[in-house]
Amino acid sequence: MKIDFSKYKKILSDWKAQKDFSKMDIKTFSKMSKTAGVLLLLILLYSLYQIYIPVNYASEETINYVIEKGSSNNTIANDLKDKGIIKNAFFFRMYTFLSFNHKGLMAGKYTISPKMSIYKIVKKMTTGDTIRDRFVIYEGMTAAEIGQYFESREVCTPEEFAQIMHSDYSKFFPFLADKPADATLEGYLFPDTYEVSTDQTCEQMIDAMLINFGNKLTPELQEKIKAQDKTIFEVITMASLLEKEVKTLEDKKIVAGILHNRLEMGMPLQLDSTVNYITGKNDPGVLIKDTQIDSPYNTYKYKGLPIGPISNPGMDSITAALEPTETDYLYYLSDGKTYYAKTLKEHAANRAKYLD
């Protein structure tokens, strides 16, 4: 779109030559005013054309464009012009300035195309509509498994992940206040699907999971924990056991009742899941020699809860830890379905019937 100013040259020349506008006759003034109005309208239309009409509506081309942190508006405008995404760098700069977005273009990787107008490109870049990666953290995953997963997705190495897991986040997340200083963030990495920009760091991923945990642990839940005279750390530790032991909410609540019974009676919990956490295995039945491993996580060797969480539990497990079913059962086993027993003799019979 080009504007032809040639027919206005004489009028403009006469206007410029006019020295005393007070002596201008009404006809000339009216003519000049109309010319100025037409010029302003043409400039406006041309600006709208540049801002709202793309280079090529029919283009199938797309590119991944990265805005680095600290990139200037001028640099971005020139880059887009050089890549053939926009027609004119000046109008990109002008629009971002007039729309107060010249300092609001967010760093990240964007998919853009010549069929997008300046208006749409700026909107995408100011709302942070970047290319997203999806990360799925499953209920019951351990920190070690998450670290390996992040390595496979090229976020960070397991060693870098482990180092961050030992960092003190309690000043940023109050729910960590009762966590022992030497405990890691195991248990607090809330399992969920996370859609994040492609340049996310390990620290940012952990931040996202902790923020999600904080949102799930509502004030009502925290009041319930306080009313039961428990710490968040204790509840999450219990929930992490339930997450590994059984699958359904109903079973989790019953097993929570069983574990509470054992704790009150001074019985060892004797959970295979705690031994697997130590060995890194995933055996449904652990070796006798492994039950003798000297570790504060070993509930065969030491009574009470393990020293900390053994997985990252979901909401059902947290709920079950706070709402255990009152029961006379002391034993259970599972082959996909869970079978309960009140006595060791009944438990042995269940084992012979369903597992042996």
pLDDT tens profile 189-215: 999 999 988 878 999 999 999 999 999
Give 140's pLDDT tier (boundaries 50, 70, 90): very high
Q: Is the pLDDT of residue 136 over 70?
A: yes
Residue 131's CB is within 10 A of a number of other CB atoms, namely: 14
Note whether 257 and 353 are same-domain residues.
yes
Note whether 116 and 154 are same-domain residues.
no
Average pLDDT for residues 302-315, to the nearest whole number? 98
Whole-number Å distance between alpha carbons of 187 and 142: 8
- Indicate whether 20 belongs to any domain: no
Backbone angles phi, psi at 321, to 5 degrees: -65, -30
In the numeric block, which tokens belong to residue 339? 């079978």
Q: What is the pLDDT of residues 57-66, one digit of tens each?
A: 888 899 999 9
Reduced to 3 states (helix: H, G, I; strand: E, B; else coil), residue 125 is helix
Note whether 338 and 250 are same-domain residues.
yes
Note whether 261 and 283 are same-domain residues.
yes
The total of structural domains in the chain comes to 3
Average pLDDT for residues 330-355, to the nearest whole number? 93
Q: Is the pLDDT of residue 7 over 60?
A: no
- Indicate whether 222 belongs to any domain: no
Note whether 152 and 109 are same-domain residues.
no
Domain that holds residue 181: 132-216
Q: Is the pLDDT of residue 9 over 80?
A: no
Residue 150's CB is within 10 A of a number of other CB atoms, namely: 21
Residue 20, pLDDT score: 55
Give 336's pLDDT tier (boundaries 50, 70, 90): confident
Residue 339, pLDDT score: 96
- Indicate whether 9 belongs to any domain: no
32: amino acid identity, one letter: M
Whole-number Å distance between alpha carbons of 141 and 145: 6
Q: Is the pLDDT of residue 17 over 70?
A: no
Note whether 118 and 142 are same-domain residues.
no
From 173, 196, 216, give the residue that closes a domain: 216
Task: Output the CA–CA distances (angstroms, integers) from residue 355 to 336, 338, 339, in the order listed.
Answer: 11, 11, 11
Q: What is the DSSP letter of 95?
A: H
pTM of the model: 0.76
> The domain spanning residue 76 has which CATH number?
3.30.1490.480
Helix H, strand E, coil C: the string for 153-221 is CCCCCHHHHHHHHCCCCCCCCHHHCCCCCCCCCCCCCCCCEEEEECCCCHHHHHHHHHHHHHHHCCHHH
Q: Is the pLDDT of residue 176 over 80?
A: yes
From 130, 157, 183, give the residue that closes a domain: 130
Tell me the average pLDDT of the chain. Answer: 91
Nearest C-alpha neighbor of 177 from the set 231, 243, 136, 118 = 231
Backbone angles phi, psi at 169, to 5 degrees: -105, 5
Average pLDDT for residues 274-278, to the nearest whole number? 96
Q: What is the pLDDT of residues 21-58, one digit of tens each?
A: 555 667 766 777 788 888 888 888 988 888 999 999 88
**CA-CA-CA-CA dihedral for 302, 306, 307, 309, to nearest 10:** 170
Note whether 119 and 143 are same-domain residues.
no
- Indicate whether 91 belongs to any domain: yes
- Indicate whether 2 belongs to any domain: no
Q: Helices in the chain by DSSP H: which ranges?
A: 9-17, 26-52, 73-82, 89-98, 118-126, 143-152, 158-165, 202-216, 219-227, 232-245, 249-265, 272-279, 315-322, 344-354
Note whether 259 and 312 are same-domain residues.
yes
Backbone angles phi, psi at 109, to 5 degrees: -105, 125
Q: What is the pLDDT of residues 211-254, one digit of tens each?
A: 999 999 999 999 999 999 999 999 999 999 999 999 999 999 99
Residue 276, pLDDT score: 96
Note whether 248 and 355 are same-domain residues.
yes
- Indicate whether 16 belongs to any domain: no
Note whether 87 and 170 are same-domain residues.
no
- Indicate whether 306 belongs to any domain: yes
From 75, 99, 130, give the residue that closes a domain: 130
Note whether 331 and 305 are same-domain residues.
yes
Least confident of 136-140, 141-145, 349-353: 349-353
Average pLDDT for residues 163-182, to the nearest whole number? 96
- Per cent of the chain over pLDDT 90 is 72
243, with CB counted inside 10 A (0-12, 13-18, 19+), is: buried
- Indicate whether 264 belongs to any domain: yes
Note whether 193 and 289 are same-domain residues.
no
- Residue 35 in contact with residue 7, Cβ under 8 Å? no
The set of residues, in sequence order, having a beta carbon less than 8 Å from that of 289 and lying 6+ positions away, is none
